[in-house]
Amino acid sequence: MAEGAPAPGCRVDLTGQVALVTGASRGIGRAIAIRLAACGATVAGIARTLPALEGTLQAIRDAGGTAEGWAANVANPADVQRVVDEVEAKFPKIHVLVNNAGLTRDGLMLRMEDAAWDEVIDTNLKGTFLFSRAVGAIMMRGRYGRIINISSVSGLMGNPGQANYSASKAGVIGFSRTIARELASRNITVNVVAPGFITTDMTDVLPDKIKAEVKERVPVRRLGAPEDIADLVCYLSGPGASYITGQVIAVDGGMTA
Ligand code: NAP
């Protein structure tokens, strides 16, 4: 594949675009970064450490794509501004922002420690706000942008043991619908992808019994793969999705149907 050229069969042409993806080291974020690069985007990948990003960056480069990594804690305002400034200095514009970084600290609400609440809200919700604010300013100047925020079916339905996580992911939805209205006149769309149960490190820790029970509850009778999410994110990142904004799209095998 020629450098920067869309992969054969890729229906979304992101040639010449820069995509910033948070949580690009593993799981869903890694699949999104690889997919956007395969469609021609230059990828700026974010995770807490650079070594964690190496695998993703190498996979993109091995396929002929372009990618750079930056270390940042998405919950830290100074980190976020520094990284966005550095990405902007390196590449002239940022066209696509995918707020994917997230974590869980599960436990029943009555026993939940303040720290578990704060860490999840700060990473999943505040991190999405911090990157959207910093990158949104660049997109406003460029009169173009695609922001895709990763929520969860837990933010739509609730899930026992995930009061902090569900609140953060429901918050991402309200936040996204609001900024979609604020940014629409500048040709910036904002959409939410709400995954169901996707096989990654985050869900690997669950006992097999729980995984089997979840599978029973999924109408398509399989757990999701990171690529199931990456496909939709890629479409929403492209020029063809210019009339879709403020939407929440579940990719969950029918769990919330
Ligand atoms: P994962 O495999 O655990 O990966 C999480 C990613 O987020 C890693 O790249 C991690 O990077 C990064 N990250 C976590 N905290 C960070 C922080 N403070 N600053 C910067 N990066 C941070 O999780 P996943 O399953 O791919 O989930 C990705 C997103 O999808 C999350 O928002 C998650 O809530 C959402 N989601 C997942 C599922 C599912 O079933 N897997 C379902 C619904 C929604 P490092 O650890 O390398 O720093």
* Domain spans in the chain, listed from the N-terminal domain onward: 18-249
Q: State pLDDT tens for residues 12-61.
A: 999 999 999 999 999 999 999 999 999 999 999 999 999 999 999 999 99
Model pLDDT, residue 12: 96
26 in ligand 1 pocket by Cβ < 6 Å? yes
Mean pLDDT of the chain: 96
Write the DSSP string, 187-225: TEEEEEEEE-SB-SHHHHTS-HHHHHHHHHHSTTSS-B-
Contact residues for 251 (Cβ-Cβ < 8 A; gap 6+): 193, 194, 195, 196, 224, 228, 229, 232
Q: State pLDDT tens for residues 66-107.
A: 999 999 999 999 999 999 999 999 998 999 999 999 999 999
Instruction: Assess whether 165 carries a catalytic annotation.
Output: yes
197 in ligand 1 pocket by Cβ < 6 Å? yes
47 in ligand 1 pocket by Cβ < 6 Å? yes
pLDDT at 254 over 50: yes
Q: Which CATH architecture is the domain 18-249 placed in?
A: 3-Layer(aba) Sandwich (3.40)
Ligand 1 atom at shortest distance from the alpha carbon of 226? 26
Model pLDDT, residue 8: 62
Model pLDDT, residue 105: 98
23 in ligand 1 pocket by Cβ < 6 Å? yes
Ligand 1 atom at shortest distance from the alpha carbon of 124? 32
Do the beta carbons of residue 98 and residue 32 sit within 8 Å? Answer: yes
